[in-house]
Structure formats: structure tokens, C-alpha cells
Chain A
């Protein structure tokens, strides 16, 4: 493998590991759940992304195999990370009475869907 490729792969591995560490560090350090949520959802996606790009580059340069499984994992994680964050945030809002009072008004006549019953499709039409 050429020197430049080796440096690029090493740099991407270190970058990915750094972001993964920062994400978990934020999870451990920050004081409440809504703030903790920011660390893992962002830092880990780029962390995993950089690691998977490094892995793809490594297999292309070292074995001359173009492996596309990494792309699949990256896409999957980028699609699922917002869903997990949303579900955790909703569970938190449902359980935490203090944060419920801090929520801003919706600007509509109904409340937030976690606390207020969602309108059904039929009710919206009428």
C-alpha cells in the first residue's frame, strides 16, 4: 500500500475513534437527558462513518476488493439514529414532569403528541 493511502486510513481511524469517544464522554458528562442526547446522536454517526470509510479505503487499497457492505451499514445507521433519538426524547418527556412544564406552546390548538392524544386520520378530514 502506498504511503499516502496508509496515512489517510490511519487518520480516518483516529478521527472515528475520537468522535466515538467524545459521544460517549458527552453521555457520561452532561447533566440531563435532553443534553446527553446530543452527544451520541451526532458524534457517533460521524465516528462510525469515518471508521467505515477507512475500512472501505483499506480493503480497496490492500486487497483491491471493492466492498460495499460498509455503505449499507452507514446508510442504515444514518437512517436509524434520528429515530432512536426521537423515541428516547419522547419517552423522557412522558416520564419527566419537570421538563413537561418547560415545553414551549405548540402554537396550535392541540398539545404535543406525546402528552395529547394524536388526532386520527378521520378526525383530521372532518
Chain B
């Protein structure tokens, strides 16, 4: 039963990632693309956690944590670049 719901979730999250990819490609402006990239990272975290459940291993949590941190930092860096013209002041 868990395997079935995992499969359903894999499909739903993959579809969600495709929708995000559509927004990254189409735009129309820079902040939208940044938001779409951020959502893409969050979906990737979900996928990593789900693979951990599916294969019954706790090895992937560090990967999910790293995704969360790097995703947050890149989003903030992009926005900072738009707002201030550079990242480090």
C-alpha cells in the first residue's frame, strides 16, 4: 500500500516539477523564474525524501538538508543581485 501511494506521489511530484520547468522556460520575467527555480528545489527535496521511504533507507536525509540549504541560498543570492546589483557588499 505504501509502495502504491509512493508511485502516485512520484507521478504527482514529477508533474509538479514539469510545471515548474514550464515557468522557468516561459518566464515572463526574472522574479518569476527565480520563484519557479525555488519551487523546483522544494519539489526535489520532496522527491529525495520519498525515495528514502520507498527504498527504506535513512541515508538520503543529508542530501535533502543540503538541497534545502543550497536552494534557499541561491534564491536569496539571485534576489539580492536584482535588488542591489551585486551579492556581496
- Nearest neighbor of A48 in chain B, beta-carbon distance: B46
From B9, B17, B31, B35, contact of A13 by CB (8 A):
B9
Residues of A within 8 A of B (CB): 6-7, 9-11, 13-14, 16-18, 20-21, 23-25, 27-28, 33, 36-37, 40, 44, 47-48, 51-52, 54-55, 58-59, 62-63, 65, 67, 69-70, 72-73, 76-77, 80, 83-84, 87-88, 90-92, 94-96, 114
A40-B39, A73-B64, A90-B79 as given contacts; A95 in contact with B31, CB under 8 Å: yes
Main secondary structure of the interface of B (DSSP, over half): helix
A28 touches B2 (CB 8 A): no
A80 touches B36 (CB 8 A): no
- Within the assembled complex, what's the spacing in Å between the Cα atoms of A51 and B64? 12
A10 touches B16 (CB 8 A): no
A80 touches B68 (CB 8 A): yes
B76 touches A83 (CB 8 A): yes
Residues of B within 8 A of A (CB): 1-2, 4-6, 8-9, 12-13, 15-17, 19-20, 22-23, 29-32, 34-36, 38-39, 42-43, 45-46, 49-50, 52-53, 56, 58, 61-62, 64-65, 68-69, 72, 75-76, 79-80, 82-83
- Within the assembled complex, what's the spacing in Å between the Cα atoms of A54 and B2? 10
- Nearest neighbor of A54 in chain B, beta-carbon distance: B53
